[in-house]
Structure 1
Amino acid sequence: MKNVPDILTRGKKKGWIIEQTTMPSGFNAPGPARVSSSGRKRVRSVSPGLFDSPEEESTDLPESVQRKASCSFEDNQLWTHLLRALQAGGFQEVPVVGSESLRQDLLFKMVENILDRGRRALILAPEVRQAEILGEQLRLLGNNYVEVYHGHLSLMVRAARWERIRRGDVGIVAGTRSALFLPVPNLGLIWINQEEDPSYKDEHLPYFHAREVARMRGECEQALVVYGSTRPSLELYGRFKGQISEALERSSRQVPQVETIDLRSLPYGTILSPVLLTRMTRALEEGEQVILLLNRKGFSSALMCRDCGKAPMCTTCGVPLKLYQRPSRLVCSYCEGIRPTPETCPTCQGTVFRFSGTGTQRLEEEVVRLFPAVSVARFDRENVKTTEAADAMLCQFRLRDIRVLIGTELVVHQSHPPTASVIGFPQADLGLHIPDFRSAERTFQMLSKALTLARNGQEPGEVILQTGIPDHHVLTAIGHQCPRMFYDQELELREVLGYPPATHVILLVVTGAQAPRVQGVVNFLHQRLREFEARRSPCEEGKGIIGTSMILGPMASKKPGGTKKNRVLFLIKTDDLSEAQRGLRDIQREYEAEFPKDPVVVEFNVDPIDIQ
């Protein structure tokens, strides 16, 4: 009889045994009281869902979950605001800005209240693993009618879960952005966790953003839509400036000590400043650990000839190849094409090369040279390719088998990121040099998340920011621990330049394999867009620099990629999205009539995350 559970598990996994749960038609999802326990053994009142993971369940409630289950919110202003919105009923939008632990407390309490009212909840997470963890936490709290849905599931599993959700057998759905399209009946709550995460934007057709779809569905379902974040997006801040500003001011947690180092005062090419080296040495001597974050993989961003200054380029994408070591090779960041490292310059036959920029491999080499007796590991996509490898390395770090961890922002995005007494940024301004109007926002959010890693036990640790532009408003706001300083300045800058959230940006992409045909379509669109711009009403004050063009392009894309090598972009800025959509539909109809059989693809992407 000992093998019976294993046989049942394998049978369910193979689809030989079908597990069904029947409920009355007037389903009212149970609260946490529907779980009974005997000693340390948990007993479910209802079996798990069809085709659920057969892995053995944990018999202990994690400490964080136990705390969430017993937390009181009587004096919490965010909870009072949420409860009033819930009691008022109908469609409402509420931003929830606070720490991760506070937001999870509020989420679990809101789910309990929604289920008590006989309605259902849809909870979104930016990544698959986070959705799975969230679903398991909800089950541990006793919510047995939970289903997790995302694109990494097999077609059969997705179909089975979709049907259970449609029948109303599920009270809570946790998933990624695709879960927004599930037929959840009587939906009362849509909660978007970490709404600022770019993963919520689908950069492929149909180019939707989960935040906008959630708003539309919430209005259709008359449901409460909650946007949760620690550092919200500029779009959310622009819509709820008053509420979010108050929430940012109310945050009174312990913050680490931040020190900014001006690299301009140091010799050119300095990787680790004397201040950062001193902090690292002291921490390592005291038995502490260090995390160094550099958001650039590889050894160097390019290999340049000393004589002619040329760098090897990718023949497909036309961008400089990045240098990697161990083994030495050149790799394209877009198509991932690999070429051997040349011994001579292909342009002038020179034999002396120099490095342009520093990557994690070069930083690792420098740390090993300076601290030869210290164990060092590198945490980036090139070195950590699977979830299992990431978990194994982080486990070694927590066991102190690794004393210095070097990584990209991949470290910050882990479900349970590591902490250390010293966090160093050899190039804190690296993301600010990316030619994208969102580069400042992305850098600020990454640095803000990284600050939470600086902990020495229960006390805040130290953060060292090395930068060549210490007066930039992102680094000033981080240094002074004043997020409102960044949001207000960045919002004003966006309004002056006519970028979201002050306007909407529409990316028009023309792609084709044959350059003459692509150029013909580009010329046609360029003329029609200029005519459309001439017919449009002038920009309203505060929606961009008056008198300047709101249509940019044509411009060559930096990542042609694939077989369609020719890729040309137009960027359209508008403060009236409906008017712009009507005008672009007319242009699209003219294009289809003018080029009925042309093998050129024309696509429109509203408010893209990546303009390339």
Structure 2
Amino acid sequence: MPYLRLAIPSPLRRLFDYLPPQDCCIERLQPGVRVKVPFGRREVTGVLIEVSEITDVPTGKLKAAITVLDTQPPLPESLFKLARWAGNYYQHPLGDALSQALPVLLRKGGACEYAHQHLWRAAKAADIAQLGKTAARQRELLLLLLDHPNGISEDAIRAEGGQSSLLKKLEEKSLAESFIHKPNHQLQNSEPLHEAPLTLNNEQQAAVSAIVRSNGFTSFLLQGVTGSGKTEVYLQAIEHYIREGKQALILVPEIGLTPQTVARFKARFNLPVVVLHSNLTDRQRLDAWLQAKEGVARIIIGTRSAIFTPLKNPGVIFIDEEHDTSFKQQEGFRYNARDLAVMRGNYEDIPVVLGTATPAIESLYNARQGRYQWLKLNQRAGNAQPPKFELLDIRQLPLQDGLAEPLIQQIRGHLQQGTQVLIFLNRRGFAPTLMCHDCGWLADCKRCDAHMTLHRKPFHLHCHHCDSQRPVPATCDSCGSTELKPVGAGTERTEEALLKLFPEFPVIRVDRDTTQRKHSMQQIMDRVHEGKPCILVGTQMLAKGHHFPKVTLVAILNADSGLFSADFRGMERTAQLILQVSGRAGRAEHPGKVVMQTHHAEHPTITSLVTEGYQAFAEQELSQRISAQLPPSLYCAMFRAEANHQGLAERFLSKLRNLLEEDILQPHGIQWLGPLPSPMEKRAGLFRAQLVLQSRDRKALHHQLQSIIYQAETDPDARKVRWSVDVDPVDMF
């Protein structure tokens, strides 16, 4: 008897055997089809891995599958292979990895078809006279069908006041019929461009030529200074593949970047462009996913999870701002979309382009090793000049809500010249926290080892780590004093201060709090692009890829943040953020300037960035990482554990380490760091610990990971903690 071996979305790292459904034709089953099965007390949607002749489970204990949901696998073979590889590499349960690669509606067992694909219409010979006067509601329904000769969905029928339950009765009387309708989005115009491409400089032309002439799979690192025209390179390379009848997938790090990216692509191309991100409804996402799968959508733009979007005719993949940590999933299935893009390009034999002004140290290392072909754009597009840097030493200078007087004067000068100013402050809220002036008490989060941020609109304390909120107290929790003062400045407080200093100019705040509503980011961008003098105040949301042609002054208020991070990547991220923010200045014919307020004007990282640029800093950082035996010169994985009681997670990880260190079969060359409490030990009410494994041998590291996962899954103490494994972690907290 054949058995169905399925991957089930569950925490269990194993496959499950089932008997085939009674009406199933085994010979037609293909790996990758979805199968609905009983699992415990519920029904779930699994994915067929193989049909097997043998099983380790007694036949009498095997359950029968309920039904096979697909005739063809929803994922093409290359993506099915990619999802399986990712589950194995990131040490994640295969069933959950395959499930995450599918749209939500398909995970829930929904049909792999468009919305309203099943429509109703009146039969050709339908005559209203065939219905008697007593069937008034059937007459109304038939009249509605006659008004929609091209078909109407059941949802639309109900919206019009019709009773969809009567459709079957009309069908039995041969007055109505259902049919399958597939949207046809193909354009008749064969010319793929709306507007003519821009003229490329020599560096841009060389980059486009290298990409389009690549024969099959090649990984490119496209490093271009901000304003060098990387997007124009994307557009002209994509045009080449579009004219060959192929599709392009573009990944961007955050939803906030998609509106302007989509607008740029729609302005250039006379082709269907679809967008995939978490703000779409499940139905919208599946429809866009199907358009990509069927080749209707020629250009697909999406965030991290769009890496699993099937393409009928794959041509090229672009990863914009490849250094951004948003491409790494931080919960559950902890994959890195940037790295999966490279693997996908290998499977589908297409080029992959990683674009950025500030490459991740790992990407720089891969380019040095020859794994990536290195393309450089060192000159800004057009006549734009790089911004001039000024380090403003604020030691012993009085600050007005975080602003030094020399900076205030420069802001006023640029606004009076009719240009725009960008103020960067990577802190949301009114102030980082609230302090008692009498006893020094700080408003700490009761669930985290962190201070609560003070917000004014609405007035409350908010922990941005666990999302807990509480009213602002009238008196100190410690001594009862009413002398409670905000400490430090956030975007709200800076906005308030600027409104007082420059009442005649609009101040526009851009952070998570002001961009929560749909289209709010696009409305802000439209307002800025009007070109009128204004002040932009925002967090790192402003640093990524936005084009502000009238911004001539960028002020970085807390340039020192991140310089003394416990994470070895702290310096890298600080440098990337400073350069990305600085790149918003002087992107058109207006010259730009960057003023960095700092208490450490002689710090080597800051001075190196200002005087020598990112490349010199990155080369030095890479050299230091190699000397210190840190990634990317070796491979790294982290076990994380959390529990309700302090010390429990740490003891659990210590037990695992002790068991494996005593194992004579363990691979050589594994370095153990910890277990230790996490840098923020308490978060969301749970106490956290971590155990880091490092090795120069990737296979040895993964062999060790499999051993420790086996020990963790079989350890009775594992029920007292929640643990996870993170391969190639980007966040050491």
TM-score, normalised to structure 1, is 0.79
Alignment of 1:415-564 (within 5 A): 415-417=546-548, 419-455=550-586, 458-480=589-611, 482-513=613-644, 518=649, 520-528=651-659, 537=668, 550-556=672-678, 558=680, 560-562=682-684
| Residue 209 (structure 1) aligned with residue 336 (structure 2) | yes
| Counterpart in the other structure of 1:280 | 411
| Counterpart in the other structure of 1:38 | none
User: What is the aligned counterpart of 1:33 among 174, 183, 191?
Assistant: 191
Deviation at 1:605, TM superposition (A): 0.9
How many angstroms apart in 2 are the aligned matches of 1:182 and 1:394? 28
Q: 1:377 to 1:85 in 2, by over 3 A?
A: closer
How many angstroms apart in 2 are the aligned matches of 1:131 and 1:327? 28
Q: 1:392 to 1:201 in 2, by over 3 A?
A: same
Which 10-residue stretch deviates more, 194-203 or 453-462? 453-462
Structure 1's unaligned 5+ residue stretches are 1-6, 24-28, 36-60, 540-548
RMSD of aligned C-alpha atoms?
A: 3.8
SS of residue in 2 equivalent to 1:501: coil
| Counterpart in the other structure of 2:697 | 576
Deviation at 1:468, TM superposition (A): 0.9
| Counterpart in the other structure of 2:111 | none
Q: 1:235 to 1:561 in 2, by over 3 A?
A: same
| Residue 233 (structure 1) aligned with residue 360 (structure 2) | yes
| Counterpart in the other structure of 2:451 | 320
Deviations 1:126-185 (A, max 9, x none): 234544654554454445254433343333333334334334444433322222222324
How many angstroms apart in 2 are the aligned matches of 1:537 and 1:269? 58
Deviation at 1:514, TM superposition (A): 5.4
Alignment of 1:223-372 (within 5 A): 223-241=350-368, 247=376, 249=378, 253-267=384-398, 271-372=402-503
2:228–2:380: 8 Å Cα contact kept in structure 1?
Answer: no
User: What is the aligned counterpart of 1:126 among 218, 230, 253?
Assistant: 253
| Counterpart in the other structure of 2:286 | 159
Q: Which amino acid aligns with 2:613?
A: C
Q: Which amino acid aligns with 2:701?
A: A
How many angstroms apart in 2 are the aligned matches of 1:404 and 1:135? 25
How many angstroms apart in 2 are the aligned matches of 1:236 and 1:9? 53
Deviation at 1:447, TM superposition (A): 1.9
Q: 1:330 to 1:532 in 2, by over 3 A?
A: farther
1:32–1:142: 8 Å Cα contact kept in structure 2?
Answer: no
Alignment of 1:5-16 (within 5 A): none
Q: Which amino acid aligns with 1:89?
A: N
Deviations 1:538-578 (A, max 9, x none): 58xxxxxxxxx65133214627555x723222233333232
Q: 1:202 to 1:14 in 2, by over 3 A?
A: farther
How many angstroms apart in 2 are the aligned matches of 1:13 and 1:275? 66
User: What is the aligned counterpart of 1:144 among 258, 261, 271?
Assistant: 271
How many angstroms apart in 2 are the aligned matches of 1:97 and 1:460? 22
| Counterpart in the other structure of 1:40 | none
SS of residue in 2 equivalent to 1:432: coil
How many angstroms apart in 2 are the aligned matches of 1:353 and 1:171? 57
How many angstroms apart in 1 are the aligned matches of 2:149 and 2:190? 27
Which 10-residue stretch deviates more, 525-534 or 406-415? 525-534
How many angstroms apart in 2 are the aligned matches of 1:128 and 1:367? 28
1:32–1:141: 8 Å Cα contact kept in structure 2?
Answer: no
How many angstroms apart in 2 are the aligned matches of 1:399 and 1:133? 15
How many angstroms apart in 2 are the aligned matches of 1:114 and 1:298? 45
| Counterpart in the other structure of 2:63 | none
| Residue 93 (structure 1) aligned with residue 219 (structure 2) | yes
SS of residue in 1 equivalent to 2:376: helix
How many angstroms apart in 2 are the aligned matches of 1:402 and 1:601? 52
Deviation at 1:465, TM superposition (A): 0.8
1:498–1:573: 8 Å Cα contact kept in structure 2?
Answer: no
SS of residue in 1 equivalent to 2:719: coil
SS of residue in 1 equivalent to 2:454: strand
How many angstroms apart in 2 are the aligned matches of 1:169 and 1:399? 35
How many angstroms apart in 2 are the aligned matches of 1:15 and 1:464? 57
User: What is the aligned counterpart of 2:202 among 65, 71, 76?
Assistant: 76
Q: 1:247 to 1:534 in 2, by over 3 A?
A: farther
SS of residue in 2 equivalent to 1:300: coil
How many angstroms apart in 2 are the aligned matches of 1:603 and 1:308? 41
| Residue 588 (structure 1) aligned with residue 709 (structure 2) | yes
Relative contact order higher in (CA < 8 Å, ≥ 6 apart) = 1
| Counterpart in the other structure of 1:56 | none
| Counterpart in the other structure of 1:21 | 184
2:220–2:373: 8 Å Cα contact kept in structure 1?
Answer: no
How many angstroms apart in 1 are the aligned matches of 2:321 and 2:587? 26
Deviation at 1:187, TM superposition (A): 2.3
How many angstroms apart in 1 are the aligned matches of 2:627 and 2:149? 64
Deviation at 1:416, TM superposition (A): 4.4
2:222–2:374: 8 Å Cα contact kept in structure 1?
Answer: no
How many angstroms apart in 2 are the aligned matches of 1:210 and 1:31? 34
Q: Which amino acid aligns with 2:464?
A: S
SS of residue in 2 equivalent to 1:298: coil
How many angstroms apart in 1 are the aligned matches of 2:296 and 2:413? 57
| Counterpart in the other structure of 1:52 | none
How many angstroms apart in 2 are the aligned matches of 1:456 and 1:195? 21
| Counterpart in the other structure of 1:220 | 347
Deviations 1:233-264 (A, max 9, x none): 21111111488987265568511221111122
TM-score, normalised to structure 2, is 0.67
Q: 1:326 to 1:154 in 2, by over 3 A?
A: closer
Q: 1:229 to 1:530 in 2, by over 3 A?
A: same
Q: Which amino acid aligns with 2:215?
A: G
SS of residue in 1 equivalent to 2:551: coil
How many angstroms apart in 2 are the aligned matches of 1:369 and 1:575? 57
SS of residue in 1 equivalent to 2:284: helix
| Counterpart in the other structure of 1:48 | none
Which 10-residue stretch deviates more, 511-520 or 186-195? 511-520
Deviations 1:64-116 (A, max 9, x none): xx3xx33355x734544553554452321111122566222222222232234
How many angstroms apart in 2 are the aligned matches of 1:321 and 1:282? 36
SS of residue in 1 equivalent to 2:732: coil
SS of residue in 1 equivalent to 2:310: coil
Deviation at 1:213, TM superposition (A): 0.7
Q: 1:501 to 1:362 in 2, by over 3 A?
A: same
Which 10-residue stretch deviates more, 201-210 or 333-342? 333-342
Q: Which amino acid aligns with 1:313?
A: D
Deviations 1:284-309 (A, max 9, x none): 44444432221112232222334443
Query: Of the two, which has the highest radius of gyration?
Result: 2
Deviation at 1:583, TM superposition (A): 0.5
User: What is the aligned counterpart of 1:108 among 204, 228, 235?
Assistant: 235
SS of residue in 1 equivalent to 2:271: coil
2:248–2:299: 8 Å Cα contact kept in structure 1?
Answer: yes
1:192–1:227: 8 Å Cα contact kept in structure 2?
Answer: yes
Q: 1:442 to 1:552 in 2, by over 3 A?
A: same
SS of residue in 2 equivalent to 1:603: strand
The number of equivalent residue pairs is 559
